[in-house]
Amino acid sequence: MKTTNESGLVEEDTVYDEVSQEKVLADETMDIAGTEQLSLSAPYFDLATNVVSEDYLGFTPLARLDAKYISNTIISTLSTWGLNLDKMIGQGYDGCSMMAEVRNATGTIKEGISFFWGSKKRKVLVGNLQKLCETRWSEKHKSIRKFNDKFLEIVEALAILHKEGDRETRQKAWQLYYTLTSPKFIVTLKVIAKYSAKLELVTNILQSVNINLSEVSEHIQGTVKMLLDDRENAEAEYEMIRKSAESNSSALGIDVTGIRQPRVVARQMHRPNHPSVSVTEYYRKSLFIPYLDSLVQSLQERFSEENKTSFEIFCLHPKVMKSQSDLDMKRIIENMKRFYGDLLDNFTEDAWTWISMWKHDKVAEGDVAELSHTDLLDKAKFLFVIASALKIALSLPATTCSAERAFRYLITTVTFF
């Protein structure tokens, strides 16, 4: 593994010897030169300090964005940097593609918030808007939700600033006012705000300190079911969104009939081309349903039944073990043995010894949940396989947010070259 300097560049030949199994997080973005850059980082359990650590490894350029090329690039880059791929037991990616309308609407929201944050006189007109950070999921969802809650105040404030601000402020306020009051933007805002409010709770759980991915996986399944129910009842769900958009439009004196259905042609490659008999049907098919499908696909890929097996490693925590029957633990042990293979050699016997130790332990029920990772590792000091499993669980990544944080170095990195 290699470290980086202050500019985000990988330095040569710095290797960590005292490291348990590693995981790799990957995300990509475009730099200011127009080159797609892949950010790689690795969380791991540091045996020297007995804590979970994470290192940003560096950027590597991408010539293509198909899955095969990206995966090959990751493997070759990690090998070049000197990482032992035999110790890699986890991977995470962030590749949720959204339609252009949603991406543009989110960009407009971010631009609008930045405009009001740029001046105390502007900010006082709308109160404290939540800044939108693209790489922090919970903040992004919260920001969109609050923007929607204050939408009417924001538009009215832009109208005031267009009349009373200085030349630069008037021009920018008008540009934002024109964009925000378009019926298409209002509809898109209502769609993404509805589900940002729901996903905000999920992302807060995913970023909590004492996260149990096994429990989170169960919660995610419930969220997916909710999204699938909305997908099944898309006509009724979208109708409520349309009415909310219409209510906002009417309050602002906007003619909602101004939204038009794009022309449908026989062959279309650069925009949605859904046959429909009305504007409502068109945007339900081209915006609402694809957005739901994208959310469902992303959650199902990250928390699929196949991935659930890897999360069962959290069942080694005494709190979880005490709530499982012997039959359930037998199934979990077999799943873990099959999934982790040689990384947890001779796991079965150690696992049953571990279960027996806690079954007869005098630790109070209420205190079990408060056990620190140091307490658990101390208890497992003679059960080396269990100790390894606990270290894997401690460093198992829930999200790829940390890989995204490296994007702040892109401008520095490009300038450096």
Q: What percent of the chain has pLDDT over 70?
A: 71
Do 206 and 216 meet the contact criterion of CB atoms below 8 Å apart? yes
Q: In what order do the strands lie in the sheet with 88-93?
A: 51-62, 36-46, 19-30, 88-93
CA 32 to chain CA centroid, Å, is 23
- pLDDT in the model for residue 241: 93
Q: What is the pLDDT of residues 100-134, one digit of tens each?
A: 678 888 889 999 999 999 888 898 999 888 888 65
Contact 311, 217 (CB under 8 A): yes
Residue 210: strand, helix, or coil: coil
pLDDT (average), residues 215-230: 83
pLDDT higher than threshold 50 for residue 270: no
pLDDT at 318 > cutoff 60: yes
Q: How many CB atoms lie within 10 A of CB 368?
A: 17
Q: What is the mean pLDDT of the chain?
A: 76
pLDDT at 155 over 90: yes
**Class of residue 80 by CB neighbours under 10 A (exposed 0-12, middle 13-18, buried 19+):** exposed
Least confident of 41-55, 286-300, 310-324: 41-55
pLDDT digits (tens, 9 = 90+) for 380-399: 888 889 988 888 887 776 55
Determine the distance from the C-alpha atom of residue 245 to the mean position of all C-alpha atoms in its chain, rounded to a whole number.
Answer: 27
Name beta bridge partners: 392: none
Q: What are the tens digits of pLDDT across the range 166-189?
A: 888 999 999 999 999 988 899 999
- In terms of average pLDDT, the best of 28-42, 57-71, 215-229, 274-288 is 215-229
Share of the chain above pLDDT 90, in %: 20
What is the per-residue pLDDT for 157?
Answer: 94
